[in-house]
Structure 1
Amino acid sequence: MAVNSEWTAFLEKLKEGEQVTTFLTDPDDPKLKMEAYRFLMMSVTQGYIVRMLHDNDFPHFNAMYHWPYTAIGANPDTTYYHTSLDPNGVYRVWGKRNNMYMVNFQLAGEFYRVDGGTYAALANYDFQDLTIDEDGNFEFFLSAEKPADWDGDWFPMTPDTRYAAIRQVAYDWLTEREAEVRIERVDRKVAYPPPHTGKQLEKELEEAANASVGVALTWGEHVARFRRKDVINKLIPEGFVDEGGWAAQSYYHGAFDITSDEALVLEAEVPEKCRYWNVELTNELYVPVDYVNRHSHINGYRAYVGPDNMFRAVLAHKDPGIENWLDVGGYKVGSILGRWNECSAQPLPTLTKIPFAELDSYLPTDTPRVTPEERAKTVDALRNAYLMRVHR
């Protein structure tokens, strides 16, 4: 039987992704090694989406980062959508706003730096600034020059533009519904896509392999870099605009390293004005801890903030019975990622490691308590609401 050289080349490229195991604290640990392979499988899925499901003439917002296809510290509150664009094209975007807390539209360069292009965000727009009618409908255009016969919302594309991304951010998971967004190219010359050629598919397969390995090796090392810089059980500010981050949002990061008998207490004074904030946990390959089935993330809508305006959360392997628990999901090592969006300040929280048994003596006496039954009820409600919203 003849060997399929294109498929063999694809598999050979994917083999380079095995280097992610070198970023682990213990590359020989069987569980951690399998976590790395699971991360690679997710990366392959995402490489397929961005390099084999794209068509500049017939665009569509494909869901990129959401459970269970999570990676690169994706926000649990956010569903990320992606489509490729031709900077010389004219695109109409329309839909219904609904009641999603925040919807952000971003233009950027080449995704995953596949063809040597920039991955930096080129422009960010907020759906709150769109013209929306009384029924919640919106419509806007994207193009290099504003269409002569259009007086509504329009956003320019520069020659570097290669893709558009939409972030749909939920604050109250139980009640919010995502915006309905469609896109079409209005200057295309054909009614439907022509059949793919073999050469086109071969190129896309190669690009998918490059993207899969690229994202795995770029972001799989993220937590290892914190460890090398001794940013362990401490936090530092960090921006992501050059990596496609949200311009209105500031971030803080750090690695955690705690045993089952220890806890980390995260403390921050909540800014006087803040549109949105949250904190989440990831494993040591920067994959979010399962936020659908675990209490591994908190946002400003659900968090308890004390009368002293302090937010205190406890990272621990076991449920400490307080409202602001962050479940590390069985990972001794991982990362902490927090966001402040349109806030009057961007405080850097402190982290204090203490014995788990001493939590009660450390935390304020008025810290709200949660029973195991209450915790299970909360997680079940959030799980069902999330899955109904994202997988409707």
Structure 2
Amino acid sequence: MGRPPQSSITTPHHHHCGVPLRTHLVAAGLVAALSASALGFGVANADDQPSSPQSATTQAAPAPLGADGRTAIVTDGQARVEKLGRQILATDMMRQQLDQTKALYAASAVGQTPTGKASTDTAANAIAAAAVLYALSLDTDRPFLTWDVNAEHHFAGLNFPNSGFGIENPDNVYRNTMLAGNSAYRIHGRWPANRPTQLHFELRDALPGTTDLTFEAGNTIGALPGDEIVTNPDGTFDITIDSTPADGRPNHLQIPADTTSFLVVRDLLNNWATEDPVYLDIKRVSGPPVAPEKTLDQQAADSAQILGKIAPFWLKYFDTFVYHGTAKNTVFPLKQRPGGHGVATIGWFDLADDEAMVITLDPAGAKSLGIQITNPFGTAYEYRNRTSSFNTTQAAQNPDGTYTYVIAKNDPGIANWLDPSGNSSGMVSLRWQQLGANPSADGAIRTTQVVKLGDLKSTLPPTTSTMSHSERAQQRAHRAQDWDHRLKG
């Protein structure tokens, strides 16, 4: 298996960038109604819109890892949630709330910028889709770890538009559910043969974006890192969740007794081509009598209410903590993330057509170093088919172990080009996870600078890997195949 060839400013460094080439997926697939770009692949349902050139499909059956004979993500439960979610998105109530969200975004300061104007519909559609999936995770009597905040996809019965927002990490598989303190729950899990770089369970006091405005968008009230999970010899494990202390129980999360708590599970896939999400199944094992299921109208009302909260929240959040928190084309100092989740920082860029932002980072011993760019509203720029993010298995490395990335409106021919889909501004996010001896990642941000494109070659390290147009196309094709892997394993 080969990697995409690439050139260097001085000598070739073919081993730095790209991922193994596998059989290309057959172009087909169908596009969901709310998103302009098709990011997913596979078998779509009959109620979807016509095919997009970016969609793809495969006739290969997914590996049977899930309890229902499917995979960790592709489950009957997820298919039911997404089918119901599409119905909710089509209701008058959600369409009206979506129109209000688009108007809110368009009237905002970033919405008045050229990139903001170009991004308004994409950002509003995506956060609306996320609000629906969040609303469908509110049933504490029938918990289900819903896969959400992800790229548009069409595969083996799964079919949903882009639901990314809040600077979602393309390396993560996010799964969420709401829990009630008057009930007890058990999560049964099984590690795959190719484990994710990190598995992390986080309990929050509320759904992010529905609390008072704080830097952490709410509070972490409990956490269980994957490397602390006690696992059985066969690779399975059980996690208990209730309002009582652990009292000697391993793998226990305690929740407040008198309220609800929001559980976020993150599988961090540093190698999209090989790592698989963990199989998880949650059950309610005790509690008061089960309430009737909500009607479609009630779920639509929940979805609209959530969208009406989280859209203005995140708009104000980024305006307060990013655009008014630091100068353009810079990033904040590193900050520890709660729950032992590593360190991270954020910044924003606004570049002229003849400018580039150059960022050099040190992995600082982290098993995962990730960088990504988003549109001005915090929705990730297209990352399945384009290079709006890099981790250490995707990026070309400098000889000294650092990584240098270039943000520019158009392709500068650099392997580590962060691609803003033809736009000139947005946000940039940096994450170091699974840190070892240097948990603070001191000195990990080596340099950030803005240069003229004409000066880019002299600014970059002499061994910087470059790419031709054909090599870029190959890099993009590999990314798409590798992102799709998470659905099949």
The aligned counterpart of 2:223 is: 124
Determine whether 1:39 maps to 2:132. Answer: no
2:267 maps to which of 165, 168, 175: 168
Distance in 1 between residues matched to 2:110 and 2:292, nearest whole Å: 49
1:378 maps to which of 463, 469, 475: 475
8 Å contact kept, 2:183–2:288 = no
Mean CA deviation greater in 311-320 or 291-300: 311-320
The aligned counterpart of 1:154 is: 252
The aligned counterpart of 2:445 is: 348
Distance 1:376 1:157, change over 3 A: same
Q: TM-score, normalized by length of structure 2? A: 0.69
The aligned counterpart of 2:386 is: 294
CA deviation after TM superposition for structure 1 residue 37, in Å? 2.7
Distance 1:366 1:269, change over 3 A: same
CA deviation after TM superposition for structure 1 residue 140, in Å? 1.7
Instruction: Supply the AA of the counterpart residue of 2:393.
Output: Y
Mean CA deviation greater in 15-24 or 78-87: 15-24
Distance 1:237 1:21, change over 3 A: farther
Deviations 1:349-377 (A, max 9, x none): 53211111222111121222333333222
1:19 maps to which of 70, 83, 104: 104
CA deviation after TM superposition for structure 1 residue 71, in Å? 0.8
- 1:241-390 equivalences under 5 Å are 247-271=340-364, 273-343=365-435, 344=438, 345-346=441-442, 347-390=444-487
The aligned counterpart of 2:66 is: none
Distance in 2 between residues matched to 1:189 and 1:8, nearest whole Å: 34
The aligned counterpart of 1:4 is: none
Give structure 1 stretches of 5+ with no counterpart.
Answer: 1-6
SS of equivalent residue, structure 1 residue 162: strand
**Structure 1 vs Structure 2 CA RMSD:** 2.9
SS of equivalent residue, structure 1 residue 274: coil
Deviations 1:87-111 (A, max 9, x none): 1211110121111221110111121
The aligned counterpart of 1:184 is: 283
Deviations 1:25-73 (A, max 9, x none): 46285x7436213322222222222224431111000112111221110
8 Å contact kept, 1:235–1:349 = no
SS of equivalent residue, structure 2 residue 307: helix
CA deviation after TM superposition for structure 1 residue 230, in Å? 5.2
Q: TM-score, normalized by length of structure 1? A: 0.85
The aligned counterpart of 2:168 is: 74
The aligned counterpart of 2:202 is: 106
8 Å contact kept, 1:20–1:221 = no
Deviations 1:245-291 (A, max 9, x none): 654322211111112321111023331x2132211000111111101
The aligned counterpart of 2:38 is: none
Number of aligned residue pairs: 376
The aligned counterpart of 1:87 is: 181
The aligned counterpart of 2:309 is: 214
Instruction: Supply the AA of the counterpart residue of 2:404.
Output: R
Instruction: Supply the AA of the counterpart residue of 1:334.
Output: G
CA deviation after TM superposition for structure 1 residue 240, in Å? 8.3
Distance in 2 between residues matched to 1:13 and 1:369, nearest whole Å: 45
Identical aligned residues as a percent: 20
Instruction: Supply the AA of the counterpart residue of 2:383.
Output: Y
SS of equivalent residue, structure 1 residue 186: strand
8 Å contact kept, 1:252–1:348 = no
Distance in 1 between residues matched to 2:207 and 2:92, nearest whole Å: 25
Distance in 1 between residues matched to 2:243 and 2:325, nearest whole Å: 43
Instruction: Supply the AA of the counterpart residue of 2:106.
Output: T
SS of equivalent residue, structure 2 residue 466: coil
SS of equivalent residue, structure 2 residue 367: strand
8 Å contact kept, 2:181–2:256 = yes
Mean CA deviation greater in 309-318 or 204-213: 204-213
SS of equivalent residue, structure 2 residue 344: strand
CA deviation after TM superposition for structure 1 residue 121, in Å? 1.4
Distance in 2 between residues matched to 1:28 and 1:324, nearest whole Å: 26
Distance 1:321 1:134, change over 3 A: farther
CA deviation after TM superposition for structure 1 residue 296, in Å? 1.1
Distance 1:26 1:133, change over 3 A: closer
Distance in 1 between residues matched to 2:368 and 2:293, nearest whole Å: 45
Deviations 1:125-146 (A, max 9, x none): 1122112233321112111226
